Structure 1
Amino acid sequence: MQFALAAELNHYPGPSHILTVSDELRLSDEQRAATSGIFQRMEDAAKSAGRDLIAAEERLNRAFSEALVTEAALTALVDDAAELRGRLRGIHLAAHLETRSLLTPEQIQTYDRLRGYGDAERKERQPGHGHN
């Protein structure tokens, strides 16, 4: 699942990828430490939210496998899973937002180049663009 693709393709790098290319970006010690902190908080929150999402999907599956699903139950189960998926995506996107605030415009430009995110490629990857 690409929870943060909208951020990634629009110049909001994620902490994990920033740490991977930290030498090329010439991160300061402060930037590296702050990025590590963002990553750790994101990872902890995402693991917890991910467990909750898996449990919600298991409840939905169980309702069908045990033939207990009703229209009302289905709506509640799907809404619960969707809310948890949204929370998980929000965790990832928030980490990208926070990470960008640590970087200089030059570091963001270098990051985009290292990841292969040119303007043409970004437009091609955006929803609603490109080939069907």
Structure 2
Amino acid sequence: MHSILVAILAFSFISSAPAETAHPAEEQARPIERQLSPDEMTDIRAGHGRAMSLAAEINGYPGPDLVLGLSDALGLDDEQKREVEEIAAEMQTEAGELRARLAQQEAALDRAFADQTITPEGLSAAILEINRTQAQIRTAYLRHHIATAAVLDPAQRARYAELRGYSSPARQARL
């Protein structure tokens, strides 16, 4: 009986094994995309701050694009809307230039590995530049969140937090 159970268990493991996957080299055939997650690439290409500005977002410093999307619900007046539109345009321009630089830096790093010309010193320099650009992108987003919050009155900031689901009593007390 014991040998029958062992055989059944062994067969179930074999039959539930995943199908053969592609060779790792085939899975990584795309140059820059293989270095970044799909979400990171989407963010870079589309210009979304996502996690880069989460600390601001959940603590009462809303992003300009989201504020514009909620302008009616927030009761923005024409002047506020114009100011937030300017902030959003500035943010997209600044971050767009930085994202383009980041994409070029990632592509250069990829080429250095693909061409097998990478050195430890070159790697360190490339990573430092990539990290510097990522920090500049994050700074741009966060700075524009601060500017957007300054345009809103406390009631609008509280309403924004409520609409976005950030309206815990502790958070509201800080707004």
Runs of 5+ consecutive residues of structure 2 not aligned to the other structure: 1-49
Aligned-residue sequence identity (percent) comes to 35
The code of the aligned residue for 1:73 comes to G
Answer yes or no: is 1:75 the counterpart of 2:124. Answer: yes
What is the CA-CA distance between 1:118 and the residue it aligns to? 3.0
The code of the aligned residue for 2:120 comes to E
Answer yes or no: is 1:44 the counterpart of 2:105. Answer: no
What is the CA-CA distance between 1:3 and the residue it aligns to? 1.2
Q: Per the alignment, in what secondary structure is the counterpart of residue 56 of structure 1?
A: helix
With the length of structure 1 as denominator, give the TM-score of the two structures: 0.88
| Equivalent residue, structure 2, for 1:91 | 140
Runs ≥4 in structure 1, deviation > 3 angstroms? Answer: none
With the length of structure 2 as denominator, give the TM-score of the two structures: 0.67
> C-alpha distance in 1, partners of 2:131/2:168?
32
Runs of 5+ consecutive residues of structure 1 not aligned to the other structure: 123-132
Q: Which moved more, 1:1-10 or 1:72-81?
A: 1-10
The code of the aligned residue for 2:148 comes to T
> C-alpha distance in 1, partners of 2:168/2:102?
34
**Structure possessing the higher radius of gyration over alpha carbons:** 2
Which of the pair has the greater relative contact order for Cα pairs under 8 Å at 6+ separation? 1
- Picking from 102, 105, 108, the partner of 1:53 is 102
RMSD of Structure 2 on Structure 1 (CA)? 1.3
